[in-house]
Amino acid sequence: MASFWGGRTGSEIRAFLRDELALSPAMIEFVLGQCRVGPQALPTILWRYGLLTIDQFATLFAWLNHRAAIAPEPQKPSPAPRQSWEYSTLR
């Protein structure tokens, strides 16, 4: 399973699916296994398998958007400084 389902994010998503949408633990693991591109695809996958009503779809989508809005911006790594030999090969 992809790494974005681990840690705090995975725990929060699992809890939301279990507590708010009443999905069984087995169904949650199945759906998360089907969702390989990240949490943003989760509502669509649940909808595709007929596991959500339209209201639940909207609730999950809003919850994911809210989480994305309050999540800290991921830090981009700074580029490595060029080595002196790289300057000579670029000319």
Nearest to 43 by CA among 57, 54, 32: 57
* Structural domain includes residue 89: no
Q: Tell me what pLDDT residue 1 has.
A: 44
How far is Cα 58 from Cα 29, in angstroms, rounded to an integer?
21
Q: Residue 89's Cα: distance from chain center in Å?
A: 41
> Could you tell me the residue range of the domain that residue 16 belongs to?
3-70
* Structural domain includes residue 10: yes
Tokens standing for residue 60? 């999950």
Nearest to 72 by CA among 6, 8, 2, 5: 8
Q: What is the pTM of this model?
A: 0.66
Q: Can you say whether residue 78 is alpha, beta or left, with left for phi > 0 and alpha for psi between -120 and 50 degrees? A: beta
* Structural domain includes residue 78: no
| Residue the block writes with tokens 């080595």 | 83
* Structural domain includes residue 35: yes
* Structural domain includes residue 28: yes
Residues of the chain with pLDDT under 70: 1-6, 70-91
Q: Tell me what pLDDT residue 50 has.
A: 92
